[in-house]
């Protein structure tokens, strides 16, 4: 009975993902058929002049998600190393407690605090309006950090419970155990944490919408305003549902969907390759 | 998503609170036009109308359980199309109908509110007057320093709204004369977000619906005319538009009662609450 229920639940989730994909494909079909594809892959979003290019938004999403991971992942790894042996034991528990607390703060709070603290700081200490790539990147890093830390922490914990006694018997210090055993053994966990963090970074809507400035341009400096695919959808969804601007949103959704699909696929492949290597 | 959640919460709270309040606040005669009527009114079109329409619909439906009112968005163009094709009884527009539209569908327009849009800056900004030409040049990116218009020596930060915004449409058509808005302008998602951005940015410039102006932002005069509700109503301040309800032919029964309700005392109060100026 339980097994059958579980099968049902699995089927429903798989089917809904497929349904989402079908829905996006169906609605973006007119865009792909009507010769509007070339118009979609242009650098100019000026709906008033009939230009519906979404390349700046694709660039914006990547510009935001990749550097966010470059900041958040090493910091998360360092935090986990500190918690698991590199730092003093008394600091570990409050630190992981704080990270857990960070995951429970709603995204909008991060956004709001940044609008009133980070944006004015960037505006007065650097230049520009403060609503920028940099502001969104810093805040988003803080947002995805706890996700990565918690996955890594779980992974480290699992491995250390397996090898902890053996390592002690061999006379390894906690730092040696972490560097020589735990880290090399948790490569899968590292990949998974990176993929989930990236998915969170590229999918987040509120942070770029509130902080990145939303100008549909390719940024030339960290202080320039950028627009991501997600915030683009949020901004344009209220327009006339008959317009070309509106149908282009489904193409944006499709691109986001395919991006996260590819990340998961790549992860799956990497895992398989690694497993074969172990056998 | 958040908007949706908020809307649902608001709806839940209202549905709890309204019946309690209703007994106390429903003035005698408010719902006289609906007495003994049953049926459905479908409304579609302009987004600016929605707060007033929703409020009215909620009160009418609570007082008259036999009446259903549905409200859909879509923008002015959709409003005209749907009412013209007979899919809805009332099609809302944030602009006057064109002669073509009136001729094609035989539509009747009922203006009920005036909405003005003002250029706004941070209260610390010393600039107290801007000419239309200056505003156009600033938003097109031709003037990039406040010094050029009598302010301090600092770069101008542009803020604009998304293309779905009715506020943007009026501002762009009437003040910018359909001129360019620089690509590097920051885009914010609502009148409220515009206010927050400008309240914090001493060098910012943007625009909001007049109803949204308060102490946190400053509206410089436009060609020496203050963008006040009084000047908007008298016609001295020109960056305004009317909000219209349109019907196919002369409105009948429930539809007529609804239009009278919006234009009556209760509707006028809702119009003011939504930040617009009621029209006679």
What CATH number has the domain bearing residue A107? Answer: 1.10.3720.10
Query: What residues have CB less than 8 Å from B39, skipping those under 6 apart?
Result: B66, B67, B68, B253, B254
What residues in B contact A217, CB-CB < 8 Å?
Answer: 183-184
What residues in B contact A127, CB-CB < 8 Å?
Answer: 155
Taking residues A256-276, report their average pLDDT: 76
Query: What residues have CB less than 8 Å from A176, skipping those under 6 apart?
Result: A167
pLDDT for res B137: 93
The continuous run of DSSP H or E covering B66 comes out as none
For A117, name the nearest residue in chain B, comparing CA atoms only.
Answer: B200
What residues in A contact B75, CB-CB < 8 Å?
Answer: 239-240
Look at the block and give the residue holding tokens 């156009």: B136
How would residue A276 be classed by pLDDT, with cut points 50, 70 and 90? low
Instruction: Report the distance separating Cα B48 and Cα A88, nearest Å.
Output: 59
Residue A111 pLDDT greater than 80, yes or no? yes
What residues in A contact B196, CB-CB < 8 Å?
Answer: 115
Is A195 part of any domain?
Answer: yes
Q: Is B164 within 8 Å of chain A by CB?
A: yes
Is A7 part of any domain?
Answer: no
Q: Do A215 and B197 touch (CB under 8 A)?
A: no
pLDDT for res A41: 80
Instruction: Report the distance separating Cα A255 and Cα A262, nearest Å.
Output: 10
pLDDT for res A27: 79
* First vs last C-alpha separation in chain A: 35
How would residue A69 be classed by pLDDT, with cut points 50, 70 and 90? very high
Q: Do B157 and A240 touch (CB under 8 A)?
A: no
What residues in B contact A120, CB-CB < 8 Å?
Answer: 200
Q: Do A236 and B197 touch (CB under 8 A)?
A: no
Phi–psi pair at B75, nearest 5 degrees: 95, 165
Question: Which one is predicted more confidently, A90 or A268?
Answer: A90
Query: What residues have CB less than 8 Å from B253, skipping those under 6 apart?
Result: B37, B39
> How many residues are listed for chain B in this entry?
280
3-state per-residue secondary structure call for B139-158: HHCCCCEHHHHCCCCCECEE
pLDDT for res A233: 87
pLDDT for res B22: 45
**Residuewise pLDDT in 10s, chain B (280 residues):** 455 455 555 554 444 444 444 444 445 578 888 888 888 999 988 777 888 999 999 999 998 888 999 998 766 777 888 898 889 999 988 878 878 888 888 999 999 998 889 999 999 998 999 999 999 999 999 999 999 998 889 999 999 988 767 788 889 988 988 888 888 899 988 788 889 899 989 999 999 888 778 889 999 999 999 998 888 888 889 998 888 999 999 998 899 999 999 999 999 999 988 878 888 7
Q: Is B154 within 8 Å of chain A by CB?
A: no
Is A211 part of any domain?
Answer: yes
Q: Do B186 and A224 touch (CB under 8 A)?
A: no
Helix, coil or strand: residue B185 = coil
H-helix segments, A170-243: 174-176, 183-185, 187-203, 206-211, 229-236
Return the half-sphere exposure (C-beta side, CA atoms, 13 A cut-off) of residue A264.
Answer: 8
pLDDT for res B146: 92
Bridge-based pairing state of the strands B107-121 and B277-278: antiparallel
Nearest Cα of chain B lies from the Cα of A173 at a distance, in angstroms, of 49
Is A11 part of any domain?
Answer: no
pLDDT for res A238: 63
Q: Do B186 and A225 touch (CB under 8 A)?
A: yes
At A155-202, the pLDDT tens digits run 888 888 888 888 888 888 888 888 888 888 888 888 888 888 988 898
How many contacts (CB atoms, under 8 Å) link A and B?
A: 76
pLDDT > 70: percent of chain A = 93
B50-63 helix and B265-273 helix, angle to the nearest 10 degrees:
140
* A234 neighbors A209 (Cβ within 8 angstroms): yes
pTM score, two decimals? 0.75
pLDDT for res B261: 93
Is A8 part of any domain?
Answer: no
- Name the residue facing A123 among B164, B172, B201 (closest C-beta): B201
What residues in A contact B216, CB-CB < 8 Å?
Answer: none
Instruction: Please state, in angstroms and as integers, the Cα–Cα distance from residue A94 to each residue in A97, B32, B160, B268, following that order.
Output: 5, 66, 44, 57
For B76, name the nearest residue in chain A, comparing CA atoms only.
Answer: A240
What residues in A contact B164, CB-CB < 8 Å?
Answer: 235-240
| Neighbour count for residue A118 (Cβ, 10 Å) | 21
Q: Do A127 and B155 touch (CB under 8 A)?
A: yes
Is A219 part of any domain?
Answer: yes
- Name the residue facing A115 among B155, B157, B196 (closest C-beta): B196
Number of compact structural domains in chain A: 1
Residue A30 pLDDT greater than 80, yes or no? no
pLDDT for res A35: 64
Nearest Cα of chain A lies from the Cα of B58 at a distance, in angstroms, of 23
Q: What's the domain range around A59?
A: 17-278
Q: Which tokens sit at A89?
A: 């034991």
Under an 8 Å CB criterion, which residues of A touch B? 44, 46-48, 108, 115-116, 119-120, 123, 127-131, 205-206, 209-210, 213-217, 224-225, 227, 234-242, 245
The continuous run of DSSP H or E covering A46 comes out as strand A45-46
Is A9 part of any domain?
Answer: no
Residue A243 pLDDT greater than 70, yes or no? no
Nearest Cα of chain B lies from the Cα of A217 at a distance, in angstroms, of 7
How remote is the C-alpha of A21 from its chain's centroid? 20
What residues in B contact A130, CB-CB < 8 Å?
Answer: 201
Instruction: Report the distance separating Cα B227 and Cα B120, nearest Å.
Output: 10
Nearest Cα of chain B lies from the Cα of A126 at a distance, in angstroms, of 13
Is A273 part of any domain?
Answer: yes
- Selected residues 99-138 of chain B with any CB under 8 Å from a CB in chain A: none
pLDDT for res B27: 52
Please give the mean pLDDT across all residues of chain A.
85
Instruction: Report the distance separating Cα A99 and Cα A79, nearest Å.
Output: 10
pLDDT > 90: percent of chain A = 26
| Neighbour count for residue A71 (Cβ, 10 Å) | 16
Nearest to A118 by CA among A4, A210, A18, A198: A210
Q: Which tokens sit at A229?
A: 């695919």
Q: Which one-letter DSSP state was computed for residue A241?
A: T
What residues in A contact B189, CB-CB < 8 Å?
Answer: 209, 234-235
């Amino acid at each position: 009975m339980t097994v059958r229920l579980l099968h049902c639940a699995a089927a429903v989730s798989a089917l809904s993902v497929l349904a989402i994909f079908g829905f996006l494909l169906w609605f973006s079909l007119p865009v792909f058929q009507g010769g509007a594809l070339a118009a979609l892959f242009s650098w100019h979003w000026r709906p008033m002049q009939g230009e519906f290019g979404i390349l700046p938004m694709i660039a914006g999403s990547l510009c935001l998600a990749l550097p966010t991971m470059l900041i958040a992942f090493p910091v998360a790894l360092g935090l986990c190393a500190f918690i698991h042996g590199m730092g003093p034991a008394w600091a570990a528990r409050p630190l992981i407690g704080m990270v857990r607390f960070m995951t429970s703060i709603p995204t909008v709070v991060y956004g709001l605090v940044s609008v009133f603290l980070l944006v004015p700081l960037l505006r007065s200490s650097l230049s520009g309006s403060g609503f920028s790539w940099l502001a969104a990147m810093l805040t988003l890093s803080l947002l995805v950090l706890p996700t990565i830390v918690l996955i890594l922490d779980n992974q480290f914990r699992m491995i250390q419970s397996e090898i902890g006694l053996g390592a002690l018997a061999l006379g390894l210090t906690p730092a040696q155990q972490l560097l020589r055993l735990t880290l090399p053994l948790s490569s899968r966990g590292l990949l998974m944490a990176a993929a989930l963090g990236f998915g969170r970074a590229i999918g987040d809507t509120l942070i770029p919408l509130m902080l990145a400035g939303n100008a549909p341009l390719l940024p030339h400096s960290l202080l320039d305003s950028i627009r991501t695919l997600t915030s683009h959808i949020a901004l344009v969804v209220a327009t006339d549902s008959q317009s070309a601007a509106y149908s282009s949103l489904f193409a944006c959704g499709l691109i986001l969907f395919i991006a996260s699909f590819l990340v998961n696929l790549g992860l799956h492949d990497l895992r398989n390759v690694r497993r074969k290597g172990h056998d | 998503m958040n908007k949706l959640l908020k809307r649902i919460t608001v709806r839940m709270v209202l549905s709890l609170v309204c019946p309690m309040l209703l007994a106390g606040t429903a003035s005698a005669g408010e719902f006289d036009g609906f007495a003994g009527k049953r049926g459905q009114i479908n409304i579609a079109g302009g987004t600016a109308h929605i707060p007033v329409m929703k409020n009215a619909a909620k009160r009418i439906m609570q007082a008259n359980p036999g009446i259903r009112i549905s409200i859909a968005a879509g923008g002015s163009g959709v409003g005209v199309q749907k009412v013209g094709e007979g899919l809805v009884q009332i099609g809302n527009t944030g602009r006057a109908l064109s002669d073509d539209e009136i001729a094609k569908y035989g539509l009747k327009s009922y203006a009920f509110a005036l909405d003005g849009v003002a250029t706004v800056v941070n209260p610390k900004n010393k600039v107290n007057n801007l000419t239309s030409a200056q505003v156009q040049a600033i938003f097109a990116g031709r003037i990039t320093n406040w010094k050029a218009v009598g302010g301090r020596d600092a770069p101008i930060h542009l803020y604009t709204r998304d293309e779905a915004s009715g506020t943007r449409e009026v501002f762009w058509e009437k003040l910018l004369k359909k001129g360019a808005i620089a690509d590097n302008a920051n885009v914010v998602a609502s009148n409220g977000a515009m206010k927050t951005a400008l309240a914090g940015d001493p060098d910012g410039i943007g625009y909001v619906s007049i109803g949204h102006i308060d102490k946190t932002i400053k509206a410089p005069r436009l060609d020496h005319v203050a963008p006040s509700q009084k000047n908007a109503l008298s016609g001295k301040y020109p960056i305004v538009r009317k909000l219209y309800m349109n019907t196919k032919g002369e409105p009948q029964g429930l539809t007529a009662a609804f239009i009278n309700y919006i234009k009556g005392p209760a509707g006028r109060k809702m119009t003011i609450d939504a930040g617009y100026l009621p029209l006679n």
